[in-house]
Amino acid sequence: MSAAGLTSRNTETIERALDVKGRSLWVDARRRMMRNRAAVVSVVLLTTIALVAIFVPMVWPYSYQQIDYSNILCAPGWWPDRSVSCFAGGYHIFGTEQNGRDLFIRVLYGARISLAVGLVATLVSLLIGVGYGAIAGFIGGKLDELMMRFVDVLYSLPYIFLVIILMVVFNQNFFLLFVAIGAVEWLTMARIVRGQTLSIKEKEFVEAARAAGLSPLKTIRQHIGPNILGPVVVYVTLTSPTVILSESFRSVLGLGIREPLTSWGVLISDGAAHLETAPWMLIFPAAIMAITLFCFNFIGDGLRDALDPKDR
């Protein structure tokens, strides 16, 4: 074969290769995610819950703090057990609670609070955890050891105690409380990011970037960042339900949000108190919360399967 022929064949191969559209990790991941039925259903459900929680209160006929003493602990009109003491008429589709307030709108407000807690606290934990972990992992050495030692110390403090103490500290300020929860939740994130950074740092492409004279900060942002994104995304979806749970947890202990605002934890503990006479007060908030937590877990599992390079 002549030299010219060889070149033309090479060119042809290269051209053919260029024609094939490259599939990035994310395109692949999205395809795998779409094939996971449980995860897709969860995304749809969670979006629905969020949208309903945001928009329906704007048009709902009752407000979350409107007390109605003629309608205390009344079942919704469609309640199957006809032996309950009273039925709330009108649009009380979830019945009413101990002050005659509409349970449906209160569940929606609970959803707003719980989802907001999940979002803000997770974002805070993301910022702190990724920054901390990436620095520790990238610089390494003594600093890494010191930083991780500090994480270990915080780890051995039963985390709920820290949250409860923070709760006492930030008694009046709800927003600061979210930040505080996030500031406690970042530990695992920092560990994950550090571990990933440590292993990626040794890869050839990072060495190549260093050889090309890229600054450490740019190396972290352009080369290490995108490669740790997978586990971080997975962990974010798993942190949100933990945060939501811990918020309700404290509400149940009486350390949560103040009346007349409400959260799922407050509604559930009120429901538990009236379980005998008004079971709907426990069932609806608990069910909606369980569905939300289910969704987060399924999405997290789905993302993990989708982003795990082992299966590629």
Partner 1 sequence: MLSYAIKRILGAIPTLLIIITLVFFMMRIAPGGPFDAQRHLPPEIENNIKAAYHLDQPIWKQYGLYMANLAHGDLGPSFKNHDFSVNELIADGLPVSAKLGFSAIILSIVFGITLGTIAALNQNDVVDHGVMGLAMIGITVPSFVTAPILALVFGIYGLHLFGIDIFLPAGGWNGGALQNMILPVIVLALPQIAIIARLVRGSMVEVLRSNYVRTARAKGLPNYVVVYRHALREALLPVVSYLGPAIAGLLTGSLIVETIFGIPGIGRYFVEGAINRDYTLVMGVVIYYAAFVIVLNLIADILYAAMDPRVRFQ
Site string for partner 1, 162-201 (x = CB under 8 A): --xxxxxx-xx-----------------------------
CA 163 – CA 186 distance, rounded (Å): 13
Tell whether residue 269 is a contact of partner 1 (CB under 8 A): yes
98 is a site residue for partner 1 (CB under 8 A) = no
Amino acid 9 reads R
Name which of 231 and 241 has its Cβ closer to partner 1: 241
Q: Which residue, 80, 110, 106, is CA-closest to 92?
A: 106
**Distance (Å, rounded) from C-alpha 303 to C-alpha 85?**
47
Q: Is 238 a residue that touches partner 1 (CB under 8 A)?
A: no
The answer to whether residue 153 forms part of the interface with partner 1 (CB under 8 A) is yes
- Rounded to an integer, what distance in angstroms lies between the CA atom of residue 123 and that of residue 160? 19
Of residues 224 and 281, the one with the C-beta less far from partner 1: 281
Burial 43-59 (b: 16+ CB within 10 A, else e): bebbeebeeebeeebee
By beta-carbon proximity to partner 1, the closer residue of 125 and 292 is 292
Which is closer to partner 1, CB of 93 or CB of 275? 275
Only one residue has tokens 């997978």, namely 230
Half-sphere exposure in the Cβ direction for 32 (13 Å, CA): 19
Angle made by CA atoms 290, 296, 298, in degrees to the nearest 5: 100
Please identify which residue in 60, 87, 159, 174 interacts with partner 1, judged by CB under 8 A.
159
For 198, the token pair is 């440590």
Please report whether residue 248 would count as binding partner 1 according to CB under 8 A. Answer: yes
Query: Considering the complex, what minimum distance in angstroms separates the CB of residue 310 from partner 1?
Result: 12
Binding mask 20-49 for partner 1 (x = CB under 8 A): ------------------------------
Contact 73, 49 (CB under 8 A): no
Q: Does 110 bind partner 1 (CB under 8 A)?
A: no
Q: Is residue 160 a contact residue for partner 1 (CB under 8 A)?
A: yes
Scanning 3-11, 122-130, 220-228, 267-275 for contacts with partner 1 by CB under 8 A, the matching segment is 267-275
**Separation of alpha carbons 192 and 231, rounded Å:** 8
CB of 151 to partner 1, least distance (A): 11
Q: Does 272 bind partner 1 (CB under 8 A)?
A: yes
| Calpha distance 178→105 (Å, rounded) | 23
Q: Is 121 near partner 1 (CB under 8 A)? A: no
Q: 54 or 287: whose CB is closer to partner 1?
A: 287
* Interface with partner 1: number of residues (CB under 8 A): 38
Q: Which of 79, 297, 304, 305 binds partner 1 (CB under 8 A)?
A: 297
| Phi/psi at 285 (5° precision) | -60, -40
Closest contact distance (angstroms) between CB of 221 and partner 1 is 32
Element (H, E) at 198: helix 174-201
CA 107 to chain centre: 19
Question: Rounded to whole angstroms, how far apart are CA atoms 107 and 268?
Answer: 10
**Phi, psi (5° rounding) for residue 247?**
-65, -45
Quick check: 67 binds partner 1 (CB under 8 A)?
no
* Residue with smaller CB distance to partner 1, 143 or 165: 165
Residues forming contacts to partner 1 in the complex (CB under 8 A) are 152-153, 156-161, 164-169, 171-172, 241, 245, 248-249, 252-255, 265, 268-269, 271-272, 275-276, 282, 286, 289-290, 293-294, 297
